[in-house]
């Protein structure tokens, strides 16, 4: 099925380790974004991209890096994991060329625990 | 500052009851979106409201956009256990397409 694929679904890291959360979409969407979801805090935007080669910071970018070399892929890198990065991470994509009513498609998430 | 305030934060009801959840702001929006998120999954778009005063129906769900386009409500008639989930309202930025969410209403419908 077409959509947004996130891997891995679960991950446990030790403090200071680095890792990359993978996100791929097959809908030819230009816009992709990463959110983290924490209890009581809702979904907060980490980084986003409006097309290949173009990325920008969201609300909570510190400690994370992104790159967008292709339309399909938008990996999120944790440079040096900290317990505060324990969260559920969602990748989402959308087409900016559709009208305002066009929704975002979300992946099923990566649950990350940093110990 | 939270641009979108959702209330109530939690709601637990019995099957068959009606309920309304709210999404309020002091800002004016060109449109608002409602998503539902089930446990272990990402949010899924339910509807977008665009015109002030607009009412949209999706089976037992009725969405309304306030006349001033600052608030929206979601009414569920005869709730079912399958309606259980986190209901999120969100607005999409104009020039950068960023999607900003409220904190959501966590609905539990007990059989």
Predicted confidence (pLDDT) per residue in A77-111, tens digit: 999 999 999 999 999 999 866 665 678 999 999 99
A36-64 pLDDT, tens digit per residue, is 999 888 899 999 998 999 999 999 999 99
Residue B68 CB coordination number (10 Å): 10
- For residue A48, give the chain B residue with the closest CA: B98
Say yes or no to pLDDT of A24 above 70: yes
- For residue B91, give the chain A residue with the closest CA: A100
Average pLDDT of B35-46? 94
Task: State the smallest CA–CA distance between residue A85 and chain B in angstroms.
Answer: 18
Average pLDDT of B43-63? 94
Task: State the smallest CA–CA distance between residue A94 and chain B in angstroms.
Answer: 9
Average pLDDT of B41-47? 95
Find how far residue A102's CA is from the centre of its chain.
Answer: 19
DSSP A73: B
pLDDT of residue A40: 82
Q: Which residues of B touch A104 (CB under 8 A)?
A: 43, 45, 99
pLDDT of residue B94: 62
Q: Of B35 and A95, which is predicted with more confidence?
A: B35
Q: How far is CA A28 from CA A2, A68, B87, in A?
A: 10, 13, 27
Average pLDDT of B7-26? 96
Of B30, B40, B41, the CB nearest to A100: B30
Q: Which residues of A touch B92 (CB under 8 A)?
A: 100
Average pLDDT of B92-107? 83
Percent of chain B with pLDDT over 90: 77
Identify from B4, B97, B100, B102 which residue to disrupt to test chain A contact, counting A C-beta atoms within 10 A and taking the largest count. Answer: B97
Contacts of A111 (CB under 8 A, 6+ apart): A9, A10, A11, A88, A89
Between strands A87-94 and A105-106, the pairing is: antiparallel
Average pLDDT of A21-39? 94
Residue A12, strand partner residues: A113
What whole-number distance in Å separates Cα of residue B14 and Cα of residue B59?
19
**Do the Cβ atoms of A100 and B45 come within 8 Å?**
no
Of B33, B40, B96, the CB nearest to A103: B33
Average pLDDT of A62-69? 97
């Amino acid at each position: 099925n077409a959509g947004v694929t996130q891997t891995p679904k679960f991950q446990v890291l030790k403090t200071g380790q680095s890792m990359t959360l993978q996100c791929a979409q097959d809908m030819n969407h230009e816009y992709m974004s990463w959110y983290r979801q924490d209890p009581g805090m809702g979904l907060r935007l980490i980084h986003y991209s409006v097309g290949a080669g173009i990325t920008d910071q969201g609300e909570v970018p510190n400690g994370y890096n992104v790159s967008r070399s292709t339309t399909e892929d938008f990996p999120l890198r944790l440079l040096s994991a900290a317990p505060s990065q324990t969260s559920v991470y969602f990748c989402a994509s959308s087409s900016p060329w559709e009208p305002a009513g066009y929704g975002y498609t979300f992946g099923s998430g990566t649950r990350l625990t940093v110990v | 500052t939270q641009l979108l305030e959702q209330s109530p934060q939690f709601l637990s009801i019995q099957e068959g009851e009606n309920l309304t959840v709210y999404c309020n702001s002091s800002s004016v929006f060109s449109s608002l979106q409602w998503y539902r998120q089930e446990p272990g999954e990402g949010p899924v778009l339910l509807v977008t409201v665009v015109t002030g005063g607009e009412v949209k129906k999706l089976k037992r769900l009725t969405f309304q956009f306030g006349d001033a386009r600052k608030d929206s409500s979601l009414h569920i008639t005869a709730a079912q256990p399958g309606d259980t989930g986190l209901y999120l309202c969100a607005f999409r930025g104009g020039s950068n397409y960023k999607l900003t969410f409220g904190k959501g209403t966590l609905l539990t419908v007990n059989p």
